[in-house]
Amino acid sequence: MTSEFCGDTKVKRPSADYNDFTPLRRIVGYYEGWSHERPCNSFFPEQITPGIYTHLNYAFATIDPTSFEVKLASTTEEDLIRRLARLKTQDADLKVYVALGGWAYNDPGPTQTTFSDLARSEDAQKKFFRSLISFLSTYNLDGVDIDWEYPGPHEIVDRGGREEDFDNFPIFLRRLKQALKSAGGRDGVTITLPASYWFLQHFDIVQLEKHVDFFNIMSYDLHGAWDKGNKWLGPYLNAHTNLTEISDALDLLWRNKIPSNKVVLGTAFYGRAFAATSTSCLEPGCTFESAATMGDCSRENGILLNSEIVDILDAQGVKPTLDKKAGVKIATWDNQWVAYDDEETLELKAKFSLGLGLGGVMVWAVSHDTPTQRFSNAFFRRAVNRNGLTSTTESNSTRYVEIHKLIDQCKWTNCGKTCPAGYQPALRTDKNAADNEVMLDKTACDGDHHTLCCPEKAMATCGWYIHTNSFCDYSCPQDFVEVGSNHHGCHSGYQAACCRVTSNPIHSWTLSSMGMWGKCQWAGDRSGDRRDPDCSDHTCPSARARDPVLTSNAGSGAVSCKDDSERRYCCADAQNEGGEGNQWLNGTWEDHLGRFMQDNSTRERCWSDCEDDTYRLAMEQTGVCENKPGAKAYCAPNGYYDIEWKERANVTDVKEALDIFFNNPQCPNDQSGGLEVRDQTVSGAQKQVVIMLAAILGAPLYQKTKVADYEDLWNEQSDEHGFQYLKFPEFRESLEEWFGNIYRDISKIIDTIKCRFEDLNDLASPNPVLSCEDEDPCEDDDADCESEEWDDPCPEAEASLDKRGVERTYCIRSRGTTLRSRRYRSTGQVPSTDFLRRRVIVLRHRRDCSNTNVRQVSMPTGNQVDGQLIHVEHPTEMNTEPTLLSDLSLGQLDEDHQNAFTPIPAGFVSDAWMNGQVMNPRDYALPVGGVEGDPSARIPSQRIYQAYGSVTYDVNFWMLEWYLNFLKNRVWRWRVWTNGPLAESSMTTHVNNVDDPRQALSRIRSVIGVFQYLNLDGVRATLRDQYQLTFRERRLVNLAWNAAHPDEQFDIRTPTRLWFQNHYRRMEESAQEFLDRWLREMERIWESRTGQRAARVRDDIQSLLDEVAGGVLHINTDDFWDVETD
């Protein structure tokens, strides 16, 4: 494809040496903020293997299109992004960024032009920078990844951009980088780039490169179902991560001289899947008909997560095949075809990256991995040995870890630069040196110089050898090695910059700052022609590796080899010295980060500079630098480390911390903030215990042995303080039983342990003093409680109310008429494969009388979860419509707010609403919500109930455990809390029953649980959609009525909006009043009682009061009311 747009001119691709142990410079992983919501194979931050990724990007936050403030998509993501950032406590070198944008951000909608608007407005940028700096600080993040998909004229690119984006984007990035640098160090800036020329042509990559730390190349999705009908591609089975095509795509960067070490190769932890045309042709190049069947977890046609692929292959008994040329695995079953990357092909892509000298690899997305991080672990051998990274080799005791602590080496500065922090200039000690003369080298600096610098605590003895009256001799003294060279003042040969490897002439131990230099030497003895050596004559000495680390026709910088021969730089084989490290790592040739520089005083030139974290080993003037000022430099990261065995972080004082923790329980007062915020108010001991619990609970399955000592210490102290049921691993099993997936709510679980470890010890015991697990909520023998239907029946239809799912009749009491609902499926009628069976909501922890949280589970078969009946549930109760119409007919919001607006015309309900007399035939066929509904849903009242849910329109249903569903009906019908378990008489009886407080607590707990359910993101979205769907339907009927009755025109929109706003407010107020009354009454009754059970009851009451005070009853409806209508 590159040749189609760029011609056939060949481009010189970068190259670099590597071996089986060469690490990747960076491993970047994206974590999806929605991955925890998948119906299966959900994924949480704590499942990410520590020590593999150098950068983790949280995808995605959003930019408000009006205020340009950085925000999360929902409040539930605040916990996730904090948890992702908290992984830095396990790996001090890990950087966590926020990613802004994504493909959907530029879809049609309010944010489609936001990036383009931001890039063109300096005022908008100032607002954005202020907000971003605050955001990074709030969530302890280290930088930002800009994922603009894509700039460029909308009429060409179709992604909401403008032609001026090409010029504006680099200016925006320059200002962004400057703003972050001035704000305290959280200044990482990266951007994503497409692999497709069609999109890439609208990025000024040459200018962008100046202002970013590196590019994340989206070298995936090269093929998909969209290929069908594309004249350049066609409907052929092709891998979306094909290495051949990726290599061609990267040529677009090399043509623009983008430095290879700033390019991070994108890899995918998902596959693109197709439905093949024929099961007899399933090879690459055969044709496909469509995208493959959607996966149960990804829920998108043509996409299969790697975790899904593993499950499918196991279930189908399929063995994938390797397409080595493309560097992918291919699997087929039936007519389904998928290409993806596994451990073997990810290693091929790692080698591909190393061979080009790239800046590493990137993964979209780490959250597509298996629970045990099977695919992330494929990169473990390529993980950078960063300071503080635990070695793959462990001691017998996991209380201690092997730390590879990098040892700084002497290094040359870039031209004209001073020594970095912690370094001092090395002084000359040769016989020709002046007093305090610094080691300087003018080679390739065009009038300036490099300075040799060494760590302050390990200054080396160095000098220039040997001038000999201009007949220079590059021999180094005994125990010295060559670290550089120059030929200034030499009629022949060159001078070598030599430094002593040992600490002094007497002792033989290696000076730490020369440790890596001492393991290497330039090939060649000290005899022969020193003026113009034939460098090819010299091979690596036997004491060094057989193959050189690098070759250069200028050696360390100023050698003149005969006939373009090259000098070899040879280093000891690390494998023969007992380890993977202690070697220069994955070096690359750089000519000022891969581009020419131009200013007013010099012609086009190369710059012999290296990045701050690399060391210059050699220079030469070949390739693009031939016959130009300057030189290119060979730059390599330091791989020289010392091994330290340390007690695992926070273990040394953990016994003391645990003793303080158990003897001085503290629960933060602020129950509304995140764990990080609340930690500021607690003691250092509690902070240490939080870190320990996060490590124990957050350890991936395969790493559980790494926290064994933490568990032992916790268990010892639990026993010692009398909390025997808090011991791991049994305590973990209890937590999993109560909370489900521990990773999902790890912060809340840790908070619960901190605040209520005594109660949890009791709950985990075989016979807790207080448990609401087996309470019968209908023990009052209320017929209302036992019934499957709880709406007040109309006398005309009482016989039809005995089963769920049937059509039901509702009374509009102000008009004496009735409405008929739509039939829907009961639980037993929902197929096992239906999405509804993955939308089941139950109480999270029934045994705990104060745990109001709910959780979403799957129910593949049957009609029960944990012994609780499950009902198909309408989030907007079906009695809403008759109550609304009654109040609209009376002009009231409710009985307490009469005369709120003009009543709707008397005939509107009976003539238009019930019979559709004023409707046009064309309006009948309008689908509800854009989805074809039941053809019989013709009259307005039927269409409204179709929107609430029916057999043929079921997208807005959820499934809910029956008692929560029952109480939700009561809470929703806030005007009539007079029947059943919440009635005055029933609550009085149970609140005053000091022999058994469980009934009262269980009912109070469940009322709050109703609001927990209504506040779930998915359920709240359903409430919003149902309101907006029915709002449009009412307006449609309203317009038809107005056209037919010009003398009785009215606007139903404002009364409807006011009514629903009042409904939600009164529902919350009624629940608040109910809970305040009965909880305060229980508090009064139990405040003076003694004993363990009384203490538990008081704890539960306080916990429930705290939840109510924390705003749990508020349902955020802000985005409900803005509805477009004709």
Task: Provide the pLDDT for residue 805.
Answer: 58
Long-range contacts of 530-533 (CB under 8 A, 24+ apart): 530/472, 530/473, 530/474, 530/475, 530/492, 530/493, 531/492, 531/493, 532/492, 532/560, 532/561, 532/562, 533/559, 533/560, 533/561, 533/562, 533/567
User: Model pTM greater than 0.85?
Assistant: no
In whole angstroms, give the CA distance from residue 927 to residue 947.
10
- Closest to 203 (Cα-Cα) out of 189, 222, 217: 217
Task: Provide the pLDDT for residue 670.
Answer: 42
Low-confidence residues of the chain, pLDDT below 50?
A: 1-3, 5, 385-398, 526-529, 575-580, 593-602, 649-651, 669-682, 702, 783-784, 786-788, 796-802, 925, 929-933
Rg, Å, the chain Cα set: 35
In whole angstroms, give the CA distance from residue 973 to residue 880.
8
φ, ψ (nearest 5 deg) of residue 794? -80, 140
Task: Provide the pLDDT for residue 794.
Answer: 60
Residue pointed to by tokens 């007992």: 578
In whole angstroms, give the CA distance from residue 170 to residue 148.
13
Residue 477 DSSP one-character state: P
Task: Provide the pLDDT for residue 705.
Answer: 58
Distances (CA, A) of 965 to 618, 960, 969: 74, 6, 6
What CATH architecture is 2-271+342-382?
A: Alpha-Beta Barrel (3.20)
In whole angstroms, give the CA distance from residue 292 to residue 289.
9
Task: Provide the pLDDT for residue 318.
Answer: 94
Contact 775, 996 (CB under 8 A): no
In whole angstroms, give the CA distance from residue 933 to residue 940.
13
Residue pointed to by tokens 């197929």: 831
Task: Provide the pLDDT for residue 592.
Answer: 64
Task: Provide the pLDDT for residue 358.
Answer: 96
In whole angstroms, give the CA distance from residue 964 to residue 1003.
10
Which residues are paired to 192 by β-bridges?
A: 216
Burial 22-49 (b: 16+ CB within 10 A, else e): bbbbbbbbbbbbbbbebbebbbbbbbbb
Going from N- to C-terminal start, the domains of the chain cover: 2-271+342-382, 408-639, 649-763, 783-1109
Residues 6+ apart with CB under 8 A from 130: none
Tallying the residues shown for the chain, one arrives at: 1126
Burial 510-539 (b: 16+ CB within 10 A, else e): bbbbbbbbbbbbbbbeeeeebeebebbebe
Beta 303-305 vs 270-276: how paired, if at all? antiparallel
Task: Provide the pLDDT for residue 573.
Answer: 66
3-state DSSP of 487-543: CCCCCECCEEEEEECECCCCCCCECHHHCCHHHEEECCCCCCCCCCCCHHHCCCCCC
- H or E segment at 716? helix 708-720
- Closest to 275 (Cα-Cα) out of 264, 285, 290, 262: 290
Task: Provide the pLDDT for residue 583.
Answer: 80
In this structure, which amino acid lies at residue 676? E
Task: Provide the pLDDT for residue 574.
Answer: 55
Task: Provide the pLDDT for residue 385.
Answer: 44
Task: Provide the pLDDT for residue 533.
Answer: 62
Please compute, for residue 789, the number of CA atoms within 13 A of its CA located in the half-sphere on the CB side: 21
